[in-house]
Amino acid sequence: MIRVPILRGTVPHMQKAKYGGAEILLKPASEGTGVIAGGAMRAVLESVGVHNVLAKSQGSSNPHNVVKATMEALANMRDAVAVAKQRGVSLEKVFNG
């Protein structure tokens, strides 16, 4: 089990991941976009609760590797609170520099 940060129904930031020959790209999308992703990646994103995302599978289309790359990308995502805690600064400082 992993914890996936979701911000207003989408992923908080762009993320790339690679597993084997599969490379994937996840980008946040505005409300109403839906899950724009292929088969295996769509199933993973819908099951974690992402409603709006732009996703692209680059490289291999092997569904096993695409799922593992998608899980890796989701596991590496961080929300603003986690970034502030890691840096030891306030949440305001993360956004305003």
Q: 19: domain CATH number?
A: 3.30.230.10
Residue 8 lies in a domain: no
The tokens describing 82, both together, are 């986690």
Note whether residue 32 is domain-resident.
yes
What are the tens digits of pLDDT across the range 1-60?
889 999 999 999 999 999 999 999 999 999 999 999 998 999 999 999 999 999 999 999
Specify whether the CB–CB gap between 19 and 72 falls below 8 A: yes
pTM, to two decimals? 0.87
Give the mean pLDDT of 83-94: 89
In a domain, 5, yes or no: no
Res 91: pLDDT? 86
Question: Which range marks the domain in which residue 62 is found?
Answer: 15-96
Domain count, the chain: 1
Residue 30 located in a structural domain:
yes
List pLDDT tens digits, range 70-80. 999 999 998 88
Does residue 50 belong to any structural domain of this protein?
yes
pLDDT at residue 97 tops 80: no
